[in-house]
Structure 1
Amino acid sequence: MEKTKWIDIKGNHDSFNIPHLDSIQNYYRKYSAWHKDGSFHYIHTTSFGNYSFICVDATLSPGPKRPYNFFGILNMTQMAQLSFMATESLHSNHTIWFGHYPTSTIISPAPGIRTLMSSATAYLCGHLHTMGGLMPVLHSQHRGGTLELELGDWMDNRRYRILAFDHDLLSFADLNFEEWPVVLITNPKSFLYSSSAHEPLVKILYSTHIRILTFSPSVIVSVKVYIDRVHLGNAHQVSGPLYVLRWNPQNYSEGFHHINVTVQDASGRISTRSHIFAMEENLSRRFDFWPSVILLSDHYVLARVLFGLIVLIQITLLLVFRYVQKPALKGNPGLLTLTSYSLHVFSKTNTFYYSVLVLNLYTILGPWFVGELIDGQWGACFSFGVFVGGSFLQGSVTFVVGILQILFFNLPLMAYLCWCLFLRCRGHSFCSHIRHGHHLMAVLIHLAMALLLAWQLYSCYFLQRTYGTVAFFLSPMRTWLVVLTLALIYKTWTLKSSELRTYIVEMKTYQSS
């Protein structure tokens, strides 16, 4: 603290189960270097200009238990505050925004968080933890030229980042702890991470030296520089970690070029850093597709749309097959005709039709459960958001949970009941359909439904462990649904033949023909 300026911010793990910012459970206020909740603007002053750092605090207050604070939320007051900071930062050489959440996981009112930070050179974030190792590099660029640079976590992956401004050109390196030597090429900088809107890129063309920062606990013994596989020479130390090598940038004024720097220290450790650079601004290179989708999509919007479509499709199926005439079973009907027929039987049987219709409507309207979303504070969870501690938190992860619930339970349950009813129409009982051929397939289908039901039961257990016993009993979408499922399955196999008489007659006529 005496030698280094520390700027730390909260993440979603710091706001789990926090009733309010003044709570003694808010450890950030006590243990952080900044000792201040909320967004802030720090200006670093140098002899050659000012550099602004704007923190975006999108953590939830109150902060519910997991998983309902995976997304950050900014309200109108917070957006106005950030807008004021953005205006203040226009007088600085550069502005760096940073926050825990990627912009794709921040819910913000118009004009949106990306628009507010459009004057920034880069936005630094974390939160996604390399997506379990699937995305070790998550970098992209907003339309206005602002870089969005997610960094893997320190706790499990021991990742950290070094940034440097060299003549107001931003360079950075994402590194693994205790891997030495550390190498960062600051001039010429990477073309992929360049922005003509925020950086004086022409300075590369008129620079006199290649510049490299390199660090190691041991003495650096060599810094070899290659461009397009041609060895230009060894860079020499100027001051501290800065090494330079004279060059003529005019030799590389056209097209793309590849710079490679190999550094060796006295302990024999070798590191190599390379990237592609260019002097022409009209050339084009793009970030990888998936990192851009992950960082630049508004995932909460996609989740809302997908959730709505899935529910709408299931309700539409019920309504269509309820009121459209059922197909005649003639000749050799295919799988599609038999599936359609079973959906007709299902939709025209009141018990199942109204049960599943109400289930779908309830999935939208809720509440899914009522319980202690924060220890000592009661709340209710809906698809469209969470009410807790007198506050309403907009729906985000709730829609994802809803999608998983429908895809992995509600829809399979409907399909399973349709299949059972179809077997009943063919004159089978629960035991006879297993004995009557295709028994392996029947066993597999029942086993699949049993596994899905086990998953639903586990979610009830998770609910009880996380939100309390009351939440377990006041949970229509978890505990009550298990009871409804068992009742519907029982009803399917004990349904009186008189209720299916028309379909049984049709099926017998078809089978005899």
Structure 2
Amino acid sequence: MSTGLRGPTNLFGHPTDQLLKDLDSELSQWDSQSEKPVTKISFGHFPLSFSAPSSSGRTLKDVFLKHSISAYLCGHLHSRFGKNLKRHHQLSNHFLSPQKFFQFNVHQNSFESTVNCSSESPPQEFWEWEIGDWRKSRAVRVLAIDRGHVSYVDLDFKSGAEQAIILPTFPLDSRFMQTSSCHHNYECHSVDSSSYETIRALVFSVSPVESVVARVYDSRYGSLVLVIETHMTKHAGENFRGNLYVAPWNYKAFEDTSPNRFWLQIESNDIMGRSTLTELRPFSINGRSFRLSWSWKEFYVMGCQWASLYYPLLWSALCFMFSFLLLPKALLVFQKNMYTYKNFIANKGIVNGVLWILQEVCRVHILWFGWIGYLFYLILFPWFIGQVFTEGANMVYMTYMGWAVETSNGKGKFEFVGSPDILVLVLPHILFVVLPAILVTGALTAERAIYRERVLAFSGKKKDDLDLNSRRPLKNGSHSSTTSNPHLGKRRIRKLLCVFCLAICWKHFMNCRALVKAYDMNPVLHLLGYGLSIPLLLAYAVSETRSAR
């Protein structure tokens, strides 16, 4: 698409089949031009959790796994959701794997201690690392490749410029840089042992460096105990950018089943007497990964595959609401008055209580048909009309499938664009406006049933005295009895439910206001059905349940 979509329905990246083909070709060309494995790193704007599949169903993840790139560097989130916006991807052969929808921590698979060295093909995997932006966060990432291992350090310039930058390149951080291939290479001796024999770090300093010291700590007994403190020497060579410092060590002494037993820290001192320390980072010389959990916000943006989740969430919510309305109606038709407040009091239980509340909604026919009609409207008809493109003044309509745009060849055919981006409009409306509104109307009708029984009990009348078919309010004795009793007249639960109705209407109004501003809508012409249905149904529910009748 040559013209972009306006926000907020521009949340996802949409790679085309041609782009994926070109990317596949670019990554493949190095395989035939080099005898040794080539370290491949890809850059992109959108995280994979916010990248939609192409029209053929292929994804960026498929291409990256095919070539087992080392890392995919992305942005888009601006580090606003946490510092651990990193994710390890690994090929899964399970067709119905839940990882197509969720990944609950930074690492995709559990660690496998046994290694099959007879397998010729290495594991298909890669790291995804989100990068903080410079404009708002003043964040910079320095990345290095050391004998096929990719490592990085993030710098925060909000706290001031760094006098020295230290980037340890080996051993790797077992939290964010270790891969299962590291464990495979170590156990199967498929990598030259010389790559393990030194601690290595790049040092960039404003002033000349006087000394660099590497320290290794053992956390086996619950506290950090210094086990190695060694001076690092500058490596002489012309093929290095910056200053590479190395220190020999007995790496076999640090083999351990725990990925976070040993911790590394490097200190640099310059001729001005200024000292710079790296953060303590765990490492595992035999390639075991330290399983790190996300916070809820990090999981929300990195662990959820929203493109895959959109339709399951949408149809699950719609099916729940249809069941909420249709099941009790069917029971009411075939087993009339089976579930009432009196029955619930006589046989208390969750099922009886839920079905009683649901059937109270069905007894208010206009309200019930209104909700059924509105749900079908959301499925079958356009929600609203707006100017969705950043250029031009064409007005198009939106459904739950996307924005309907006329195809290039015309002839009255339409294609839907902006999916799954529209989930930012569809799911909040379904889950936080429509569903709460239906539940509140159910609660209002149930409260009216309780109130009616209390009025009847207080007035001493039988249920048959209340003419349900006349649709007339209680008069004379009943009304005076109701008003004379202060406990019957207050109806605190109803007042609370009315406050909920106002809150739902306010949220809906703010959503509509944002849509009008975002897509240059006329509220009367372009937003009428979508905008007024919820307030009208809630107003009718409040009006219909105001008295015991």
Please say whether Structure 1 and Structure 2 have the same fold, judged by a TM-score greater than 0.5.
yes
Q: How has the CA–CA distance of structure 1 residues 253 and 454 changed in structure 2, closer, same or farther, with 3 Å as cutoff?
A: closer
1:107 aligned residue (52, 60, 63): 52
1:476 CA displacement: 4.9
Indicate the residue corresponding to 1:261 in structure 2: 266
Counterpart of 1:322 in 2: which secondary structure? Answer: helix
Instruction: Determine which of 256, 270, 273 is the counterpart of 2:276.
Output: 270
**What is the CA distance between 1:103 and its match in structure 2?**
0.9
**1:418 to partner: Cα distance:** 2.3
1:420, CA displacement in angstroms? 2.9
Alignment counterpart, residue 87 of structure 1, candidates 28, 31, 41: 28
Give per-residue Cα distances to partners, 1:225-270, cap 9 Å, x unaligned: 1123234323234466324233134443522532211224437353
Over 3 Å counting, the alpha-carbon distance change for 1:191 and 1:421 in structure 2 is: closer
Rounded Cα–Cα distance in structure 1 between residues aligned with 2:193 and 2:491 = 73
SS at match of 1:321: helix
CA–CA separation in structure 2 for the residues paired with 1:95 and 1:488: 62
Partner residue in 2 for 1:165: 145
2-side partners of 1:253 and 1:205: how far apart? 16
Q: CA deviation at 1:156?
A: 2.2
Shift of 1:342: 3.2
Assess if the C-alpha contact under 8 Å between 1:107 and 1:300 holds in 2: yes
Distance 1:208 1:317 in 2: 66
**1:474, distance to aligned residue in structure 2 (A):** 1.7
Alignment-derived partner of residue 126 in structure 1: 75
| Structure exhibiting the larger radius of gyration computed from Cα positions | 2
1:361-380 correspondence to structure 2 within 5 Å: 361-375=376-390, 376-380=393-397
Q: Which amino acid aligns with 2:421?
A: V
SS at match of 1:137: coil
SS at match of 2:388: strand
Q: Residue 156 of structure 1: SS of its match in structure 2?
A: helix
Q: Secondary structure at the match of 1:310?
A: helix
Matched, 1:234 2:223: no
What SS does structure 1 have at the residue aligned with 2:64? helix
TM-score by length of 1: 0.75
Q: Given that residues 227 and 260 in structure 1 are in contact (C-alpha distance below 8 angstroms), is that contact kept between their aligned partners in structure 2?
A: yes
| SS of match in other structure, 2:178 | coil
How far off its partner does 1:205 sit? 4.8
**Distance across 2 between alignment mates of 1:309 and 1:303:** 10
Q: 1:287 to 1:116 in 2, by over 3 A?
A: farther
Q: Say whether the 8 Å CA contact 1:252–1:279 is kept in structure 2.
A: no
1:344 aligns with 2:390: no
In structure 1, how many angstroms separate the alpha carbons of the residues matched to 2:521 and 2:247?
71
Distance change (3 Å), C-alpha of 1:389 and 1:219: farther
Structure in which a larger fraction of residues adopt strand: 1
Change (3 A) 1:286 1:305: same
- Compared with structure 1, are the counterparts of its residues 323 and 154 closer, same or farther at alpha carbon in structure 2 (3 Å cutoff)? same
Q: For 1:416 and 1:182, locate their aligned partners in 2 and report how far apart those are by CA, in whole Å.
A: 58
Deviation of 1:345 (Å)? 2.5
Secondary structure in 2 aligned to 1:129?
A: coil
Match of 1:398 among 395, 411, 422: 422
Post-superposition shift, 1:288?
2.7
Task: After superposition, give the CA deviation of every residue in 1:37-95 in whole Å (9 maximum; x if it has no partner).
Answer: xxxxxxxxxxxxxxxxxxxxxxxxx3211110111112323222222223224346221
Match of 2:131 among 139, 142, 151: 151
Moved more, 73-82 or 233-242: 233-242
1:252 — aligned with what? 253
Question: How far apart, in 1, do the equivalents of 2:300 and 2:446 lie?
Answer: 43
CA contact (8 A) 2:197 2:249 kept: yes
Give the deviation of 1:165 after TM superposition: 1.1
Q: Which runs of 5+ in 1 are unaligned?
A: 1-19, 22-61, 498-503, 505-513
How far 1:363 moved relative to its partner?
2.2
The answer as to 2:203 corresponding to 1:214 is yes
Contact preservation (8 Å) 2:385, 2:521:
no
Distance 1:311 1:182 in 2: 54
Q: Deviations over 1:424-446 (max 9, x none)?
A: 44448899799726544332221
Matches within 5 A, 1:375-454: 375=390, 376-388=393-405, 390=407, 392-425=416-449, 426-427=451-452, 436=488, 439-454=491-506
| Per-residue CA distance 1:337-367 (angstroms, 9 max, x = gap) | 4543232131243312221112122223342
State the structure with bigger RCO (CA 8 A, min sep 6), 1 or 2: 2
Does the 8 Å contact 2:215/2:265 carry over to 1? yes
Report what 1:299 is aligned to. 306
Per-residue CA deviations over 1:448-490 (Å, capped at 9, x if unaligned) read: 2111111111122112211123366322564232453355336
- 1:129 is displaced (CA, Å) by 2.5
Residue 52 of structure 1 corresponds to which residue in structure 2? none
CA distance 1:253–1:457, shift in 2 (3 Å): closer
Q: CA deviation at 1:222?
A: 3.3
Q: 1:308 aligns with which of 308, 311, 315?
A: 315
Note if contact 1:205-1:279 (Cα within 8 Å) is conserved in structure 2.
Answer: no
Deviates more, 1:375-384 or 1:65-74: 375-384
Aligned length: 435
Cα shift at 1:184 = 0.4
Q: Does the Cα contact within 8 Å between 1:384 and 1:395 map onto a contact in 2?
A: yes
Deviations 1:357-380 (A, max 9, x none): 121222233422101112523222
Q: Secondary structure in 2 aligned to 1:300?
A: helix
Q: Tell me the CA shift for residue 411 of structure 1.
A: 1.9
Give the Cα separation in 1 of the matches to 2:498 and 2:387: 35
Equivalent position SS for 1:280: coil
Q: Displacement of 1:275 after TM fit?
A: 2.5
**2:4 is equivalent to residue 63 of structure 1:** yes
TM-score by length of 2: 0.71
Aligned residue number for residue 76 of structure 1: 17
Give the 5 Å matches for 1:14-29.
Answer: 21=2
CA distance in 2, matches of 1:437, 1:205: 86
**Residues in 1 aligned to 2:366 and 2:277: alpha-carbon distance in whole angstroms:** 69
